[in-house]
A and B are shown apart, each in its own frame.
Chain A
């Protein structure tokens, strides 16, 4: 059972470079999320999607863009990476948006911007 898969697992970028993080889920979940995790902090929501073709801003959306062209994939883009975006990024999905639904997380992408 693959669940939620993130690629790549590690990446080092130079300031100003762009990249896309891919999240794929095979559970037919409607909702998908991108979080960032920084040392000593909880997870903060960047963007989320409530279904194919939809996206919405979370708590810390600046500097990121997302797309959900296919239900199973949720892409997170950095157009011009900054050192402040050095973080561990987690993708998650839920079957639907109810409060009782379990969130399934990917293993994370460790991004360093130098």
Chain B
């Protein structure tokens, strides 16, 4: 199966919370990341969490990690039209020299 899995689409109303989910398989992953890709642009690091943490909060963003279930989620509070983008979950394979393993990306669609 895929190393990192995400659903491809999520549609939310402006002002609601968005929750984007991700599952990964490599238990040796030390860091897990969320990258944001806006239309026509490259990926930009949004936030990351170290594997010994359960939660990380940064303004409107909350990352939850369930290491037992290998489940990662990104919650965006008070979703705005500017949050419309593709969100990629990624895991490191320890050393980092071979880069990151990305999920397929979740396209967040904001409804007015």
Contact = CB atoms under 8 A, between A and B. Distances in A.
A94 interface: yes
Determine chain A's interface SS by DSSP, over half rule.
loop
Interface residues of B, number: 29
Interface string A20-62: 0000000000010101000011111100101000001010000
B99 A98 contact: no
Contacts, number: 73
A100 B100 contact: no
Interface stretch (B13-21, B60-68, B74-82, B101-109): B101-109
Considering residues B41, B42, B100, B104, which has the most beta carbons from chain A within 10 angstroms of its beta carbon? B42
A4 interface: yes
B52 to A, nearest CB: 12
Interface of A: 4, 31, 33, 35, 40-45, 48, 50, 56, 58, 90, 92, 94, 96-103, 105-108
